[in-house]
Homo-oligomer: A and B are copies of this chain.
Amino acid sequence: MLTEHQITFRVRYPETDGMGVVHHSRYFQYLEMGRIELLRASGISYAQLEMEGILFVVVKVECRYKAPARFDDELTLTTRVARKTHVRIDHQYLLKRGETVIAEAATTIACVDRQGALRVIPEEAIGT
């Protein structure tokens, strides 16, 4: 499985708020896209995992906002697996517009079953 992946996307209009910048809550939706596309680039479909009852929940997040992002900005998000245990994965993120750092973030996700109980991350979710 890949340990690092990059995606590029544009800021959508309703992601900005009345201040004319991307609302700080929206960044976590970008980070989630980063994790999902890191999986896809490794040959794993998160939608498929969910159907098999392999779910990931977010346990902890943190984000430092360095510069505002605006509507239509083309942003590049680098998602990196920082640490992996039997039940948790730590990711680190760098969000940039060109050479400008927009945000730095880190998350911890845990693997659960459909009832929300912690489970060991199965091989299908790790890839080969």
Interface residues of A (CB under 8 A from B): 12-14, 16-21, 23-29, 32-33, 36, 45-47, 50, 55, 57-65, 68, 70-72, 116
Contact = CB atoms under 8 A, between A and B. Distances in A.
Contacts of A36: 13, 72
Contacts of A21: 18
Q: So how many copies of this chain end up in the complex?
A: 4
A25 B18 contact: no
Contacts of A50: 18, 71
A22 to B, nearest CB: 9
Contact of A25 (B25, B45, B46, B60): B25
B72 A24 contact: no
Given A47-B71, A58-B24, A63-B60, A17 B19 contact: no
A64 B26 CA distance: 17
